[in-house]
Structure 1
Amino acid sequence: MRLITRLCVAALLGPPLAACTGPTVITTDDTVTAPPASPSAPETTRPSNVHLANAFTYAIPGAADGTTVYAFTTPSGRWQCQITPRTQASCGKAGTTATAIGITGAPDEVPAADGETATPTALLVDRTGAPQFAALPASTIDDPPVLPFNRILAVAGFRCNVQEASGVSCLSELSGKGFTFSADGFTTAYTDVPADAP
């Protein structure tokens, strides 16, 4: 080891040489395990645009404080949904009276705007929050047009559809959160219209 030290000192005093520089190599019998790979992000599928409806058909100018909203009734005439641009998509029983939502599994009470509790009249999803049951006032929209089965109303950051097999489904395109429901039950997930649907 002394010899190497003297050679390095000599190299420093003499003309520049690169003999004493370089990486240190250590050889051992130790094994090194690589850290586990981070889990990959879950695969998501973008909602389909194959079956889009013409949003202008469902536009109701000035319905909500002068704002245009988009509303439809389901083919059965039982449900009515409304998209308030960049705010929320909500669905409840059709008609202009606020009645209990009538979905199996829905809560009996939800917080009301006045801080009390009330019977839920709608299922909604806003831009960033989770789907929830809410006590909304009666709709001022009387008899909006029917959204046919397997057609998607996509407008202002929300999309909704109606399917015979699954019911009504709405989604916030910003958060990816949504709901699907029928009178028989609900889930907090959006159900897209299959690309091969009629």
Structure 2
Amino acid sequence: MRATPSLCATAALGLLLTGCTGPAVVNTEQPTSRAPAPAAAPTPTTRPSNAHLANAFEYATPVDGTTGYAFTTPSGRWQCVIVPRTQASCGKAGGSGSALGITGAPDEVPGPDGETVAPTAILVDRSGDPQFAALPASSVTDPPELPFNRILAVAGFRCNVQEATGISCLSELSGRGFTFSADGYTTAYTDVPADAP
């Protein structure tokens, strides 16, 4: 005797076959609309060189109750101080309170009491733009000389002295910095060339 499939089994088989079949997919080779391509990432700036690093330990000094880093330029005219993770500033060596003597620098800046005074330093902090400021007298005395073409990189800042361009400092966080000499200044960091002596 021949077995006949039950009605339930036949219905289940029909549903199964129906679920596996459907309309055919037709590819017409026409482009589909897509989201616009993301904008190209900005070109990264050149990373500062580490080819001529000075030993930061040699420049450590007490600054306002904390360890800071300071140096004098080979000419003895300028002194720079790095306050860790706060700012890098430069002014006349031993001459806090005296005008900077940088061509093109402003004659006056806001003083600590709101009155306008002559700037005593150029500085860059962690995230702001370089600026001229009237800083209080530095507690740093007789810091060591940073030789030409050496880079003092410490606590989020780097500074160097080059015979051709002057003194330059950079906030490594923001990428902002300055370069100056008695003849003028720019609001850009000037790195020591990798092939410098």
After TM superposition, the score normalised by the length of structure 1 is 0.82
2:21 partner letter:
A
1:124 aligns with 123
Give the Cα separation in 1 of the matches to 2:57 and 2:32: 66
**Residue 112 (structure 1) shift:** 1.7
Q: Which range moved further: 28-37 or 109-118? A: 28-37
Q: Deviations over 1:88-127 (max 9, x none)?
A: 1000111143211111111121122222222111110111
Q: Do structure 1's residue 20 and structure 2's residue 22 form an aligned pair?
A: yes
2:166 aligns with 167
Would you say the 8 A contact 2:130–2:177 is kept in 1?
Answer: yes
2:8 aligns with none
Would you say the 8 A contact 2:177–2:188 is kept in 1?
Answer: yes
Q: Which range moved further: 108-117 or 156-165? A: 108-117
**Residue 33 (structure 1) shift:** 9.2
**Which residues in structure 2 correspond to 1:181-196 (within 5 Å)?**
181-196=180-195
1:78 aligns with 77
Q: Which range moved further: 35-44 or 81-90? A: 35-44
Give the Cα separation in 1 of the matches to 2:30 and 2:170: 57
Q: Deviations over 1:39-80 (max 9, x none)?
A: 33112222111111111211113x31x211111111111111
1:48 aligns with 49
Query: Identity over aligned residues, as a percent?
Result: 73
**Which residues in structure 2 correspond to 1:28-177 (within 5 Å)?**
35=36, 38-61=39-62, 63-64=63-64, 66-177=65-176
Paired residue secondary structure (1:180): strand
Would you say the 8 A contact 2:71–2:145 is kept in 1?
Answer: yes
Paired residue secondary structure (1:16): helix
Give the Cα separation in 1 of the matches to 2:154 and 2:102: 26
Paired residue secondary structure (1:99): coil
**Residues 1:99 and 1:30: Cα distance change in structure 2 (over 3 Å):** same
Q: Give the number of equivalent residue pairs.
A: 185
2:42 partner letter:
A
Unmatched segments (≥5 aa) in structure 2: 1-12
1:54 partner letter:
N
Paired residue secondary structure (2:119): coil
2:4 aligns with none
Give the Cα separation in 2 of the matches to 1:183 and 1:47: 24
